[in-house]
Chains A and B, each alone.
Chain A
């Protein structure tokens, strides 16, 4: 078997991944191990066949792998990485949700944190109505329940 610690220059083993919609991707181990589940697979020894990822579609997987590639690059500076991340996560809500779910499923901590912070930024300063509209959430409180919760949190609702 090939060595487990391989810098970007050497041709390490590649992992084959298959998305929900049957798109296949080939990715270097050094990049794939950004995801904790691939990291364990690599350490335990992985089969030759493509790894099925039924929870992630091709478009999202491509984006996630692009992010992993950038973050696995040892030549990139922290500033450049931060700039890249800011641009990367500036996407519409549907894409953001997909990235969030994929990062959670694939256990990519840094990407999960980035996506969560972005969603949190979208919530900051908004009223409950605005938050519901932004995220298409149904208000399931009865009017009486809502009134009680409103009284308890009135201090946060602004003038």
Chain B
């Protein structure tokens, strides 16, 4: 009677794991390959959303006559944008800069609407409507790209990386011209930005504009010449590396998109004849890629014109985008099922998103201000303005009296 029971069959593991929180699921992914594979099954997140009240879907960066107006589409109700996850609790219309699978967003108050033309950055958790303004980086340099990583959920710790264009975009070193990016990193632990060494790319190369993809603690970006730019959070360093054939060949595929696939870096490549391929970087160190899937997207032709890949939602479900809609395309099931969200406005970036409903501390309690508003930032400034004005008036009246 002391014998231990054997491992449960896959459908039982599915039944159990779909009842866990996102954090517990993260830990279960390390238990065994079987458990890991189960958490990435195509209907896993849908069931988890219903059973454990988690949220899964994507944020879409929409624009309403030049004003940013992000919307959320849930995997469980694709036909409509979900108003419960709107960002209207923030103090101004925002543009999403980065999203994480731990429910945290980085947003920028679109400075075009502000008289001082200095942007404000907020971190927020839309599911609990918590938000906090973070100190500004060097905003006189134009932002090329921002990305965010959650390092730990309890207690919350996250880092934000920013690449910006310095005054002189090009620099010369040993008679070779390089394109230069300023690199800064924000740590929620220190609540401050820190400048890192500049990123120098050979002339002609540049970091792509699409949102970065995070996998295994690394931020990846596809460069226009089909190389990959990688930023390593642990060493705060960067590198670029080549892709294997045919991924390296420009114009071999009509469209290529870096994606996160089951915790690894992947690439969705759209070719001719309504075919799409999923490639995955199997070996992190050796940078070995393999083609995992060949997907027919013919079924999408009648649904939405000119769809291109945006992300992998789960094993067997690709997130595609068209001119006016976002499509969750389940290509694994016998008859491909297609869920379409018609987006009424113009949209550009799409951010895959997952969240729970647990409150977090976006700013450590040991720092002043606590959770909530940006009031703490403005008050000392106003106070010093008032004090200085009084001092100025006093000096003026003194001089006037004695002259």
A-side interface residues toward B, CB under 8 Å? Answer: 93-94, 97, 100-101, 104, 112, 116-117, 119-120, 123-128, 131-132, 135-141, 144-146, 148-159
Contact = CB atoms under 8 A, between A and B. Distances in A.
B8 A97 contact: yes
B37 to A, nearest CB: 11
Contacts, number: 115
B216 to A, nearest CB: 4
Contact of B16 (A93, A94, A119, A138): A119
A116 B30 contact: no
B100 to A, nearest CB: 9
B217 A125 contact: no
Given A151-B217, A152-B263, A136 B4 contact: yes
A124 B353 CA distance: 23
B7 A137 contact: yes
Contacts of A123: 16, 20, 24, 28
A125 B20 CA distance: 10
Interface stretch (B55-63, B149-157, B307-315): B149-157
19 contacts: A94-B1, A116-B15, A116-B19, A119-B16, A120-B20, A120-B24, A124-B24, A127-B27, A128-B31, A146-B30, A148-B216, A148-B263, A149-B263, A151-B218, A153-B26, A154-B151, A155-B26, A155-B153, A156-B153
Contacts of B277: none
Chain B interface size, under 10 / 10 to 19 / 20 to 34 / 35 or more: 35 or more
Nearest to B154: A158
Contacts of A156: 22-27, 153
Given A123-B20, A128-B31, A154-B217, A149 B153 contact: no
Given A97-B5, A124-B24, A155 B102 contact: yes
A120 B23 CA distance: 13
B88 to A, nearest CB: 28
Given A149-B36, A155-B26, A159-B152, A139 B31 contact: yes
Contacts of B43: none
A35 B165 CA distance: 66
B216 A140 contact: no
Contacts of B152: 154-155, 157-159
B264 interface: yes
B79 interface: no
A151 B26 CA distance: 11
A132 B23 contact: no
Chain A interface SS verdict (over half): helix
A78 to B, nearest CB: 20
B284 interface: yes
Interface in B2-19: 3-5, 7-8, 11-12, 15-17, 19
Interface string B149-175: 011111100000000000000000000
A119 B15 CA distance: 10
Contact of A155 (B8, B16, B17, B150): B150
B338 interface: no
Contact of B29 (A135, A136, A149): A149
B76 interface: no
Contact of A94 (B5, B21, B155): B5
A138 B34 CA distance: 10
A7 to B, nearest CB: 32
Contacts of A151: 216-218
A140 B263 contact: no
B366 to A, nearest CB: 15
Nearest to B155: A159
B32 interface: yes
